Amino acid sequence: NAGVTQTPKFQVLKTGQSMTLQCAQDMNHNSMYWYRQDPGMGLRLIYYSASEGTTDKGEVPNGYNVSRLNKREFSLRLESAAPSQTSVYFCASSDFGARTGLSYEQYFGPGTRLTVT
Amino acid sequence: AQSVTQLGSHVSVSEGALVLLRCNYSSSVPPYLFWYVQYPNQGLQLLLKYTSAATLVKGINGFEAEFKKSETSFHLTKPSAHMSDAAEYFCAVESYSSASKIIFGSGTRLSIRP
């Protein structure tokens, strides 16, 4: 199993350009997430998808859109990139279900380093 | 709302010394708690998790954490640090506002001195 994969690994954009970050998981997980990581701020949730066909805003959704294409894939789109969106972006997935003793540990991809100039 | 606070953004210990990374949580109900590790230029990897079974949880690479309800703490320890333990460590708590979300702390960078 590849786990969670993300493309691209690195990207440089100019202000105002758009791009889509791709994420796929092969663990048959229901839930998928997009985070951004900035120095000293830990991980902040941008959007998540609790199950196929649903998406919800996280802590910092402004300037982003997402698409849950199918159970495996969850993409993040920057419509008009801004320097404040320079960050490392992580996709994660987890197995969502009733509280039967299963924990909601999340499995992370390797990240995309995005620089907006 | 659930939250976690990690005390100390940077901890430095000598190789072979005890590692202690502190985490306090805020939650109105018994939480699920996690420690993740992030090695340079990599994603996060689960170290261990607490799911209300045993209060002392053992994880990978010799790490363990103890859930103390009276102190609302979930500190991470390792008896003897190794150079390969140098990384950033994140404490996290399950969010009850949505059963599929986890709230992360701001992280603690662990450095190991030779």
Name the region of B107 (left: φ>0; alpha: ψ -120 to 50; beta: rest).
left
Whether the CB of B97 is below 8 Å from some CB of chain A: the reply is: no
Q: What percent of chain B has pLDDT over 90?
A: 68
Question: Is the confidence at residue A53, as pLDDT, over 50?
Answer: yes
Whether the CB of B31 is below 8 Å from some CB of chain A: the reply is: no
Q: For the segment A80-101, what is each residue's pLDDT rounded down to a tens digit?
A: 999 999 999 999 998 865 444 4
How many Cα neighbours within 13 Å face the side chain of B55?
A: 9
Question: Is the confidence at residue A30, as pLDDT, over 60?
Answer: yes
Strand-pair category, B64-68 with B10-14: unpaired
3-state class (DSSP) for residue B83: helix
Report the C-alpha gap between A86 and B96 in whole angstroms.
30
Contact B90 A42 (CB under 8 A): yes
Q: For the segment A7-21, what is each residue's pLDDT rounded down to a tens digit?
A: 999 999 999 999 999
Q: Kindly list the residues from chain B whose CB atom is less than 8 angstroms away from the CB atom of residue A55.
A: none
Average pLDDT, chain B: 90
Report the C-alpha gap between B74 and A13 in whole angstroms.
40
